[in-house]
Amino acid sequence: MERALVVKGRLIGPKNVELDEPLSQTSGEVEVVIRLPAEGTTVDGDDIFDIVADLAPGTRTKEDIDRQIRANRESWGDR
């Protein structure tokens, strides 16, 4: 079965690739596909988990969220 791992990196010279993350669980032959970012976009950016971690905490309680979910589900009827 074929597996694909996606890791960002950069091409260093005509035959070398530097990866942003280690692939410690992988060894052996690989096939490398180079996909260049679209013009006007940057490769370096904030990780989505860092963005979420920086958000201010919410003020809703678990009970309030559960109440809203229950009300939404009840409005569906027998669908």
Reading the chain (79 residues) residue by residue, the pLDDT tens digits are: 578 888 888 889 889 989 988 888 778 888 888 888 777 665 566 678 877 888 888 889 999 999 999 999 999 987 7
* 36 within 8 A of 43, measured Cβ to Cβ: no
pLDDT in tens, 18-32: 998 888 877 888 888
Give the global pTM: 0.42
* Cα-based angle 1, 8, 37 (whole degrees, multiple of 5): 110
Query: pLDDT value at position 71?
Result: 94
Rounded to the nearest integer, the mean pLDDT of the chain is 84
